Amino acid sequence: MSSDLRNTLRGSPVVVAPGKIFIMGEYAVLEGAPAVVAAVGRFAIGQFVPGYEPDSNFVAEAVRATLLGIGDRSAALPAGSVMVDSTAFSADGRKLGIGSSAAVTAASVAAVLELAGLPVASNRDLCFSLAETAHRQAQGGLGSGADVAAAVHGGLLQYRRPPGGYPITERLKRPAGLHVVVFAEDQSASTPDLVRGVRAFAERAPTAYASAMRPLREQAELFVEAFAAGNVPELLATARAFSTAMGELGAQSGVPIVTSRFEIAANLAINLGGAAKPSGAGGGDIGVGLFGDEQTAATFASRVAQLGLRVIDAPLESKGVHRRQPSANL
């Protein structure tokens, strides 16, 4: 979708939603433990277009859920759907694992809300509720919703989903001196497939699964405490322990959570005094390196590139999904 089209369709507001990286809590968040997620400066751009047909299941579910959620207001809207540009989430023809589906879903919900006269800026909780429901539906009931929370609220978040309860988000402040490097292999991984693989392990070996999950939950809790306290050495130590536990979960479940090159990257980070781990479900899709100073982070980025890993330009983003004014920057 061209920028000219986005800026000249009268009555159809343009919205943008950021991507995300998981910093901590993968898999454990599905068991009620906290996750730490961050919005990143890659954006899905959406605009409601009368007569348009949705081009993905995420858009279709988002529009459907929003029209139901706004009740009588939907009667005044024209038939159509949301056109979404998500090209910022790909590089060299490969989709990057930085939350494109969540950003697309959030942008789709926000575009309908804005058109219906419900500004997303003052209806952010409604936007999250609708987008989280639509995203889970599009993924067959899988997922924690943490990526949707990052897309809707922006910034750095602690996210927790109590069993049987409504998700809880809390804004966090990045500790002084903490530097993040985002990297990936040149391959895509399916988050739903990886999560289904771990779920199958839980069903066939519940005792082994519980044992594998225990350190993940424990380290996630410790990481959040250290993060909130600004204790960088402690949060790096817990991130290293969490990375090891992710590898153990993958080994026991037979799911490729930590690939061989990601394992090398994790060891490199340890040697440099930092930590590195998969960001998200794993499979080589995306990873994060955490370091206590900028120079060490730069050294890590240079060395993982030599390993054949791609360093991703994904700066942390403070804004969640929002309406973009014509001729304005994101």
For 88, residues 6+ apart whose C-beta sits below 8 A from its C-beta are 19, 42, 43, 44
Measured in whole angstroms, the distance separating CA 80 from the mean position of its chain's CA atoms is 27
Residue 282 and residue 194 in contact, taking contact as beta carbons nearer than 8 Å: yes
DSSP codes joined into one string, 102-165:
HHHHHHHHHHHHHHTT--GGG-HHHHHHHHHHHHHHHTTT---SHHHHHHHH-SEEEEE--TTS
Q: For the chain, where do the domains classified as CATH 3.30.230.10 start and end?
A: 3-173+316-324
pLDDT in tens, the chain (330 residues): 434 344 435 558 999 999 999 999 999 999 999 999 999 999 999 999 999 999 999 999 999 999 999 999 999 999 999 999 999 998 877 888 899 999 999 999 999 999 999 999 999 999 999 999 999 999 988 889 999 999 999 999 999 998 888 899 999 999 999 999 999 987 777 888 999 999 999 999 999 999 999 999 999 999 999 999 999 999 999 999 999 999 999 999 999 999 999 999 999 999 999 999 999 999 888 999 999 999 999 999 999 999 999 999 999 999 999 998 755 445
Rounded to whole angstroms, the Cα distance separating 56 from 81 reads 11
Q: What is the pLDDT of residue 183?
A: 95
Q: What is the pLDDT of residue 324?
A: 87
Q: What is the pLDDT of residue 11?
A: 58
Report the candidate in 217, 146, 182 with the shortest Cα–Cα distance to residue 291.
182
Place of tokens 């204790």: 231
91 sits in the region (left: phi over 0; alpha: psi -120 to 50; else beta) called beta
Please state which architecture CATH assigns to domain 3-173+316-324. Answer: 2-Layer Sandwich (3.30)
Q: Is 109 exposed, middle or buried (0-12, 13-18, 19+ CB in 10 A)?
A: buried
Rg (CA), the chain: 20
Rounded to whole angstroms, the Cα distance separating 36 from 15 reads 25
* Global pTM value: 0.92
Rounded to whole angstroms, the Cα distance separating 155 from 317 reads 6
Which residue stretches of the chain are H helix? 3-8, 57-69, 100-115, 124-138, 146-153, 191-204, 206-229, 232-253, 260-271, 294-306
For 69, residues 6+ apart whose C-beta sits below 8 A from its C-beta are 126, 129, 130
Residue 133, CA atoms < 13 Å, CB-side half-sphere: 16
Residue 150 and residue 124 in contact, taking contact as beta carbons nearer than 8 Å: no
Q: How open is the CA angle 39-55-13, to the nearest 5 degrees?
A: 60
Domain 179-311: which CATH class? alpha beta
Rounded to whole angstroms, the Cα distance separating 166 from 37 reads 17
Q: What is the pLDDT of residue 96?
A: 86
Per the document, the length of the chain is 330
Q: For the chain, where do the domains classified as CATH 3.30.70.890 start and end?
A: 179-311
